[in-house]
């Protein structure tokens, strides 16, 4: 009854409901690994690194791999001809809260074999770091930066690991962590003060600022445009969508 009296904003402020318990996270593997050649091969080649596996959303095979040798496992999945995962379509993160590890999720696809695979790597809260896979897939560049920015995971070996969505000097933490307050760590007044006093130019290099200078206009080209050129677009033309 108490929940029925709460507004939608109150319910959001209460935080997420428990959806994945400890028992569910540690459940035994499901699915027949022989149905996915890469899962079966992973179990044979890295038996001590594969923590569990299961089928999600009907046909998405997911394999949990420990962080100690994750770069080695992913390198093998890319370079081994029988696997050939040449496409890293996404790198993201998941925080379950409650002191549980934050997972780095790798979504891969083999264009050669027409095969998808998802690798989930649990990162302990006391370390919050793993090896970058930028050297394997260049698509991981901005993706790892996003995970670093929003979850706080450091990717060792990344060539330019810095925030990509939040300002470089953002001091409130990592917004997608479960312990991040709904309205941020600072008061609304402090957030407003910081926004009004920020030096926008601090985000741009000298080259960026130079590239942003107004471009010179060719006056000869302007003089060649008839003064009544705008009259050619009548109201009916705009109503019909012409000239858009």
User: Between β-strands 115-123 and 60-65, what pairing exists: parallel, antiparallel or unpaired?
Assistant: parallel
Residue 65 pairs in a beta bridge with: 50
CA 175 to chain centre: 12
What confidence score (pLDDT) does residue 36 get?
94
* Lowest-confidence segment of 111-125, 140-154, 158-172, 193-207 by average pLDDT: 193-207
Percent of the chain residues past pLDDT 70, beyond the cut? 71
**CATH at residue 68:** 3.30.460.80
Q: Is the model more confident about 84 or about 9?
A: 84
User: Does any domain span residue 118?
Assistant: yes
Average pLDDT over residues 195-219: 69
3-state helix, strand, coil in the chain (%, to 5): 35, 20, 45
What gap in Å lies between CA 193 and CA 196, rounded to an integer?
5
Is the residue at 229 inside a domain?
Answer: no
232 belongs to a structural domain: no
Residue 214 within any structural domain of the chain: no
Buried/exposed code over 77-88 (b: 16+ C-beta within 10 A; e: otherwise) = bbeeeebbbbeb
- The pLDDT, as a whole number, for residue 182 is 85
CA nearest neighbour of 49 among 25, 32, 26, 66: 66
Asked whether residue 148 is domain-assigned, the answer is yes
Q: 3-class DSSP state for residue 220?
A: helix
Domain assignment of residue 64, yes or no = yes
CA distance 65 to 47: 10
| Helix, strand, or coil (residue 200) | helix
Query: What are the residues whose beta carbons fall under 8 Å from the beta carbon of 154, sequence distance 6 or more?
Result: 128, 129, 130, 148, 161
Domain range for residue 56? 28-166
What's the pLDDT score for residue 81? Answer: 97
User: Residue 49: which of 30, 24, 71 has the closest Cα?
Assistant: 71
| pLDDT value of residue 199 | 76
DSSP 239: H
SS3 72: helix
Task: Tell me how many domains the chain contains.
Answer: 1
User: What digits encode the pLDDT tens for the residues 119-135?
Assistant: 999 999 999 999 999 99
**Residue 222 placed within a domain:** no
203 inside domain: no
pTM for the complete prediction?
0.71
């Amino acid at each position: 009854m108490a929940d029925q009296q709460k507004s939608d904003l109150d319910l959001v402020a209460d935080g997420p409901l428990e959806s994945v318990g400890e028992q569910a996270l540690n459940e035994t593997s499901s699915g027949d690994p022989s149905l996915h050649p890469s899962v079966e091969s992973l179990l044979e080649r890295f038996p001590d690194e594969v923590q569990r596996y299961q089928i999600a959303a009907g046909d998405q095979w997911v394999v949990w791999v420990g962080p100690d040798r994750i770069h080695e496992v992913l390198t093998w999945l890319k370079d081994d001809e029988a696997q050939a995962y040449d496409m890293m379509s996404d790198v993201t993160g998941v925080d379950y809260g409650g002191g549980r590890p934050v997972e780095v999720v790798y979504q891969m696809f083999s264009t050669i074999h027409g095969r998808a695979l998802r690798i989930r790597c649990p990162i302990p809260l006391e370390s919050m770091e793993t090896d970058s896979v930028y050297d394997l897939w260049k698509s991981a560049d901005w993706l790892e930066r996003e995970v670093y920015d929003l979850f706080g995971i450091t990717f060792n070996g990344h060539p330019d690991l810095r925030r990509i969505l939040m300002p470089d000097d953002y001091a409130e933490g990592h917004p997608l962590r479960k312990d991040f307050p709904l309205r941020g760590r600072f008061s609304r007044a402090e957030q407003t003060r910081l926004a009004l006093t920020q030096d926008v130019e601090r985000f741009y290099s000298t080259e960026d600022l130079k590239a942003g200078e107004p471009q010179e206009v060719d006056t000869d080209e302007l003089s060649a445009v008839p003064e009544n050129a705008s009259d050619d677009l009548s109201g009916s033309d705009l109503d019909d969508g012409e000239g858009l």
